[in-house]
């Protein structure tokens, strides 16, 4: 019996495939930012979801522009156009907002106060801590959405010539050669073993976590995402 070959193969490690991997990773972060901000705009500025969604959009957007142990910064990669001049100001606002407010609590957008609770006569009866927080304004969020879209376009533009080079190269590869390419290593673990301690490596490796419905039941495969 002939075993059918899988319909896809993972390209071997080359300079172009490394570029494609890094750009794909950056595109994923920008897509995550776009999705989170889109959900925030749909929910509305008065929604209780506004602040967590805009905050996550900021975190995801800035990931490509900060140091990483496993990929090059987006703005240091070849072929990536700069942030459009008309959107540079909002890019700088988002970067500083991430650094001083979202990733660290340093800005005056959050004002923690020691508050005394008074009775009708002005006598102090209790003490509590209160934080006054200013979330991202709608006007900034709308400009931020334009910025994310522009950077997604830049990444797509830079990715196209790499795809074309790899497509041309792939046509010259024999089926026997392709069959010998290394497949990703996928291992399985239960959800209680979930961890993010391990860094990505050039050799594709992925852990899929299974959910156990009830004590004593066999692990139930819940979801795989690459």
Would the CA dihedral through 207, 213, 216, 219 be positive or negative? negative
- What pTM, to 2 d.p., does this model score? 0.86
The distance between the two most distant Cα atoms of the chain, rounded to a whole number of Å, is 91
Rg of the chain over CA atoms, in angstroms? 24
pLDDT in tens, 21-41: 999 999 999 999 999 999 999
Instruction: Quickly count: other Cβ atoms within 10 Å of residue 148's Cβ.
Output: 23
- Residue 15 token pair: 């300079």
- Residue 191 token pair: 């959800």
Contact call for residues 140 and 67 (beta carbons, < 8 A): no
Contact call for residues 155 and 80 (beta carbons, < 8 A): yes
Q: What is the dihedral of CA 93, 36, 79, 225, to 10 degrees?
A: 150
The SS3 assignment for 138 reads helix
- Per-residue pLDDT of the chain (226 residues), as tens digits, is 555 666 889 999 999 999 999 999 999 999 999 999 999 999 999 999 999 999 999 999 999 999 999 999 999 998 899 999 999 999 999 999 999 999 999 999 999 999 999 999 999 999 999 999 999 999 999 999 999 999 999 999 999 999 999 999 999 999 999 999 988 888 899 988 989 888 888 788 889 998 877 665 665 554 444 3
The SS3 assignment for 54 reads helix
């Amino acid at each position: 019996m002939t075993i059918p070959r899988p319909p896809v193969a993972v390209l071997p490690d080359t300079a172009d495939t490394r570029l494609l991997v890094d750009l794909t990773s950056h595109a994923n972060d920008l897509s995550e930012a776009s999705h989170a901000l889109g959900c925030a705009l749909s929910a509305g500025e008065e929604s209780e979801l506004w602040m967590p969604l805009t905050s996550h959009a900021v975190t995801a957007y800035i990931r490509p522009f900060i140091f990483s142990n496993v990929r090059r910064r987006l703005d240091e990669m070849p072929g990536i156009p700069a942030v459009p001049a008309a959107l540079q100001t909002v890019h700088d606002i988002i970067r500083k907002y991430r650094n001083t407010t979202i990733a660290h609590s340093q800005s005056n957008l959050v004002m923690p106060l020691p508050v005394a609770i008074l009775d009708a006569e002005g006598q102090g009866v209790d003490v509590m801590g209160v934080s006054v927080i200013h979330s991202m304004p709608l006007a900034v969020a709308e400009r931020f959405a334009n910025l994310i879209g522009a950077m997604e376009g830049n990444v797509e533009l830079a990715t196209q010539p790499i795809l074309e080079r790899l497509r041309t190269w792939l046509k010259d590869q024999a089926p026997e050669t392709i069959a010998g390419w290394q497949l990703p290593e996928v291992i399985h673990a239960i959800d209680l073993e979930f961890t993010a301690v391990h860094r990505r490596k050039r050799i594709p490796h992925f852990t899929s976590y299974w959910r156990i419905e009830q004590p004593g039941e066999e692990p139930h495969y819940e979801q795989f995402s690459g």
